[in-house]
Structure 1
Amino acid sequence: MKYRSYFKSISIKNKIFATMIILVVISITVIAFFANNISQKAIIEKAKNNSLRELVLINNNIETLITNVEDYSKMLATDYRLQEVLYTDMSVEKPEGGLENLIMRKKLSEVLSNFVEPNTKVKAASVLSSRIQWADVGYADNEYAARLFGTEPVAMKLENNNKPIWTGLVPFKFRYDSTESNVFAVSKAVVHKEFGKTIGMVALYVKESVIAAIYENSLNHQGGEFYILDEKHSIISSRNKSLLYHDFTDMTAISLPNLGERETSFILGKGDDELLVSTQHFEPLSWTIISVIPLDAITVENKEITKLIIRIGIWCLIFAMGISFFLSRSITKPLFILASTMRKIRNGQMNVRSSYKSMNEIGHLSDGFNSLMDRIEALVAKNAEEERTKSEIEFKLLQSQVKPHFLYNTVETIISLIKLNMKTEAIAAAKYMANFYNISLSRGNDVISIREEMKLTESYLEIQKLRYVEYMDYSMDIDEDIMCYATPKLMLQPIVENAIYHGLKWKKEKGYLQIVGFMQNGQIIIEVHDNGVGMDKQQMEQLLEPAVEDKRKVSFGARSVNSRIKMLYGDLYGLDVESVSGSYTKVTIRLPIKEL
């Protein structure tokens, strides 16, 4: 409820502006969210495909290298000069007549040199005779070769096996090297072409770095790594040589699924540690080629896209703010003009009209409002004229009631005084009556001076005092300063008459009527105070605002005077009534300071 009331209190301009901004922010956020997710998925999927393609390419290159090395071993094993040397070595009776012979070794060197560096990627080659004698080219250490291939007779070791045989990754030492090297070795039995008898063995050595060179240039993502595992999941090739011979899971904390599949690609880890892992099975040697790429390195492009979206979103937001500001302003400006016009009219400026002109909906609303105000102003003017006419009629009616009634009562009083032989009082009553009618007629003027109004009222009171001498008396205390100012004619007489007939007349003992006039706060104040029977709250309300069914004269005269003063001078002026039942009544008349 609190937020609803707060929303209702916001101006239309701010509502439009805020709504536009919220819609733009939500739209940009939703677009950015989906664009980021879609682009990230697309980039990851693309990276998976690229990684698998790279593994396939590496697989093919390794297969090509392996095939070439095997072909070299086959070519070497079938070379007729090598077979001649090995066959001769097997035929001679003394060892020194075999591979130890300088001529024989020279022939072997000539044959082997064609299959090792720099002509091929083979680091070195060794030849084992049937007598378990080693000869080499490329500085292969014969002690390491013997340790690698053993000392069993060759015929038994390689019997019925004409295919090249690969070892796993092994440490091997070459002559003149200070440290061991990591190599793969391939061996091939030498079978005599004519006799079909195994007469020796050849071994070729390929460094692990030669295989690693195949994939080292394929690292497209920063932080990415390639690994080659044997069938026991030991690392046999990696850029980081310290990982060789160790279990892959132990070294990388990456758990691999079933590696029997041809190729797989999956994501491991959470948050910033997510990795894209791709595998490719190398069938010839039961190896597994693995690519490991941090997901952050893959999605770096997506981050750039996200930054671009954010920048574009900020510019769109700024642009939308400008558009929404001008749009809300263009919509609300005419409403503000119309609202300002309404405030002026509410403050009493009924002749003000809306200045906004347009063919849109607000323009039609403005025209309709102006037309409505024209009609209201016309109706108000008509109503005011009708009220003025009604007030005039009521005032004339009051006069018509006062004059005949007062004349009749006064004449009756004069006759009674004459009968009682009170000629002096009769003459005074006649003079007061003449004075009353002289002023009340006042050549047809409805506005007279306060002095004349007081004389008229005094004449009325003197006559009433002659009639009701036993229950009333009065006094008048009017400041001379206000005597010259204007007042509606017969303004005071109806109030005095009400005080006499409805207040003092019903009092058991003699009552008193007091009239006071003075100037206060820029107004003329005339107070009529009587100590008669007073009025209750309902009677006071009826005195100035009678009910429809109330036709009593007590309210008619006072209401007529009050309405006439307000009609002539405004709502700041008129009558105020203060009374306590059984105690007193005070009627205060407020008039403006008007020159006659």
Structure 2
Amino acid sequence: MKGYKQYFNGLSIKNKIFSTNILIIILSISIIALFANIVSQKAIIEKAVKNSSRELVLIDNNLQTLITTVEDYSKILATDYRLQNELYNDFLENNNLSTSSHYVGGLDNLSMKKTLSEVISNIVEPNTNIKAVSVLTSNHQWVDVGFADNVVASRIFGSGSEAIDHSFQPVLTGLMKFKFRYEGDDNVFAVTKTVIHKDTGKTVGLVVLYVKETVIASIYERKMNYKGGNFYILDQYGKIISSQNKANLYRDFKEATSISIPTSTEVETGFFQGNGSEKVLVSTHRLEPLEWSIVSVIPIDEITVERKEINKLTIWVGALCLLLAFIVSYLLSRSITRPIFQLSRTMRDIRTGHLTVRSSYQSSDEIGYLNDVFNNLMDRIEELVAENVEEQKTKAEIEFKLLQTQVQPHFLYNTLETIISLIKLNMKTEAITAAKYMASFYKISLSKGNDIITLREEMHLSESYLEIQQLRYVEYMEYTMDIDEEIMSCSISKLTLQPIVENAIYHGLKRKTEKGLLRITGRRMGEEVRIEIYDNGVGIEESQIKGLLREASESSERAGFGVRSVHNRIRMLYGDRYGIELESEVGLYTRVTIRLPFKPLREV
């Protein structure tokens, strides 16, 4: 968390605004999408449960209609007067065998078969959903009229009186395997109806109507709203008697599907079973009065396929919204931060020294007000800087004049004392030499009132000073000067070297117990001139080195005043990158490096 906070704080304002807006928008879209997904899934599942329940009710109605229709056809067939007459005549013949020893069943008569075929043909395919019809006579014969295999019928239903149901109502059997003459075995349901003669009330036979299982299956196959769903019809024992997958017929439902249907007294039940992609919605509907159950099994993935489409639409809409949000956030952050960046660039230009640069952004908003305040502030700062520069210049000139007033009388007094001493010692030649060097020193130091002279002139001035000092302190010092001719014409502020040389003598070499060396060297380095004054005197403490370049108000020592004055004049004339650098080790040496721009005097 701390690292993320540091990373966020390191971003620009533009990126902070942009990333914050995008984060808020992404979070909002994600929450809305999640909420919509949950709500839509719940609504779709509720809709699926209702649809499934409604489908089962419709299947129940259609199945009841089909069964009722088949039962009605069985009643119609059983009461048809032609069928009754043929069966009744057969009944009479069966009970009067003594009248003819050569009796052959009446139904073997071709005319009778024709009559029965005409009656039955009206209620079988293609006129109805009934595949075939079998007729059992009172003399225990199964009539061969149509597609039904009478041998199979005899084996399933029997041929004696036990085959005839005396309840006189149509009876629907369970699922069975039955053979048809031209199509082979098939799965069928059968409706049986006892034939009662309408005049005598005698039981004269039995009719059996066959309905294929595929007819039952076609009812719910037409009602399927979900492609991956499955419907099952179970008998009272939980056996599958109708299914889209015919391999499941006659199997226990739990064994075939691994789904347990809880025992319930309710007509309709619904529940979910399984986990993940195997989760299914199971809906049941009890079919009264057959004690059958209609079961639908729908995978949850099929139910939520609409949700997937909604999710795709949500993703597309979210992506478009996010793209629009990117564009709007970018434009918004850019419109806010662009004037800030412009103000920031102006500040960078000012920091590099371009104090006259100003921000050009104009607006009545807060940033426009900030720009106006900044420009006014810089105008005031520029005025103050100009005033400060002028004050510093005046101060430097005053310090320079003060330095001159300090150096010249002091040097003049000491030099005259030296000349007098030389004359008293009858060293007239040395006295004359001292006088010449003093005259040269003052000639150059006056330099017709010019404060900027050539390095050559400054070196002559320093040489005159050193020669006179060597006459006075011959036992303390000796000096060397090595200046490249290339830099001799460069400009330098008058009396730049003399205060440094004076410090080296009085505060370095003079305090040494043995004779010391003062060395002045000058070289060009690129576009700079570097003059080095080195002495192997007593050195300077590190704390004193820092104090030598501080403001004059912080130190009253004359040595510090001279060095500061030279340093300040160089920076004022040439800029902050130039000036004096000090390096020293106590008891070993002191090195003062003066850095100046390489500018011949003619360019000044």
Q: TM exceeds 0.5?
A: yes
3-state SS of 1:535 partner: coil
Superposed, which structure 2 residues align to 1:26-425 within 5 Å? 26-77=27-78, 93-95=95-97, 100=106, 120-125=128-133, 128=136, 132=140, 138=146, 140-151=148-159, 153=161, 158=165, 161-173=167-179, 176-177=181-182, 179-190=184-195, 198-208=202-212, 209-258=214-263, 261-413=266-418
Aligned AA (1:494): P
Bigger mean CA offset, 98-107 vs 206-215: 98-107
> 1:282 deviation in Å?
1.2
What do residues 48-80 of structure 1 show as CA deviations (whole Å, max 9, x unaligned)? 322322222221122123223333444555566
Deviation at 1:392, TM superposition (A): 1.4
Alpha-carbon distance between aligned partners in 1 of 2:82 and 2:467, rounded to the nearest angstrom: 171
1:595 match:
601
Letter paired with 1:280? H
What amino acid is aligned across from residue 199 of structure 1 in structure 2? T
Unaligned residue ranges in structure 1 (runs of 5+):
none
Contact 1:76 1:202 in 2 (8 A): no
SS state of the match for residue 502, structure 2?
Answer: helix
Q: Deviations over 1:209-230 (max 9, x none)?
A: 4433433433343344433222
Q: Which amino acid is the alignment partner of residue 376 of structure 1?
A: I
Using the TM superposition, name which of 534-543 and 107-116 deviates more.
107-116
8 Å contact from structure 1 (residues 187, 201) kept in 2:
no
Instruction: Give the alignment's TM-score, normalised by structure 2.
Output: 0.82
Distance in 2 of aligned mates of 1:121 and 1:539: 122
Q: After superposition, what is the alpha-carbon deviation per residue over 1:558-581, rounded to whole angstroms, capped at 9, x for unaligned?
A: 221222222222334433444443
1:283 is displaced (CA, Å) by 0.5
Shift of residue 130, structure 1, vs aligned partner: 5.4
| Equivalence for 1:569 | 574
Matched, 1:535 2:530: no
Q: In 1, Cα distance between the equivalents of 2:250 and 2:476?
A: 138
Say which SS state the counterpart of residue 354 (structure 2) adopts. Answer: coil
Helix, strand or coil for the counterpart of 1:538? Answer: helix
Deviation at 1:335, TM superposition (A): 3.4
- Is 2:565 the counterpart of 1:560? yes
Q: Does structure 1 retain, via aligned residues, the 8 Å contact 2:129–2:215?
A: yes
Q: CA deviation at 1:595?
A: 0.9
CA distance 1:77–1:487, shift in 2 (3 Å): closer
State the Cα distance separating 1:205 from its structure 2 match.
0.8
User: CA shift at 1:83, angstroms?
Assistant: 6.0
Alignment partners' CA distance in 2, 1:410 and 1:110: 164
Would the aligned equivalents of 2:78 and 2:207 in 1 still touch at CA under 8 Å?
Answer: no
Equivalent residue of 2:53, what SS? helix
Moved more, 584-593 or 276-285: 584-593
**Alpha-carbon offset, residue 207 of structure 1:** 1.5
Quote the offset at 1:525 in angstroms: 4.7
CA 1:423/1:215 → structure 2, altered by over 3 Å: closer, same or farther? Answer: closer
Q: CA RMSD in A?
A: 4.0
User: TM-score of the superposition, structure 1-length normalised?
Assistant: 0.82
Return the alpha-carbon distance in structure 2 between the equivalents of residues 85 and 262 of structure 1: 45
For the 8 Å contact 1:88–1:98, the answer to whether it is kept is no
Q: Which moved more, 1:91-100 or 1:260-269?
A: 91-100
Structure 1 residues 88 and 342, CA gap change in structure 2 (3 angstroms): same
535 and 291 in structure 1: CA distance in 2 versus 1, 3 angstrom threshold: closer
Identity level (%): 59
| Deviation per residue, 1:367-399 (Å, 9 max, x gap) | 333333333333333222222222211121222
Per-residue Cα deviation, 1:501-543 (whole angstroms, up to 9, x for no partner): 3334334455555555565545555444445444333344433
Residues 104 and 378 of structure 1, relative CA distance in 2, 3 Å threshold: same
- Inter-partner Cα distance in structure 2 for 1:25 and 1:520: 60
Residues 342/181 of structure 1: CA separation in 2 closer, same or farther (3 Å cut):
same
User: What runs of 5+ residues in structure 2 fail to find an aligned partner?
Assistant: none
Q: How far did residue 479 of structure 1 move?
A: 5.8
Work out which of the residue numbers 445, 448, 458 in structure 2 matches 1:440: 445
What CA distance in whole angstroms lies between the structure 2 residues aligned with 1:206 and 1:553? 135
Contact 1:264 1:280 (8 Å CA) reproduced: yes
Q: Which letter does structure 1 place at the counterpart of 2:47? A: K
SS at structure 2 position matched to 1:364: helix
Change (3 A) 1:329 1:524: closer
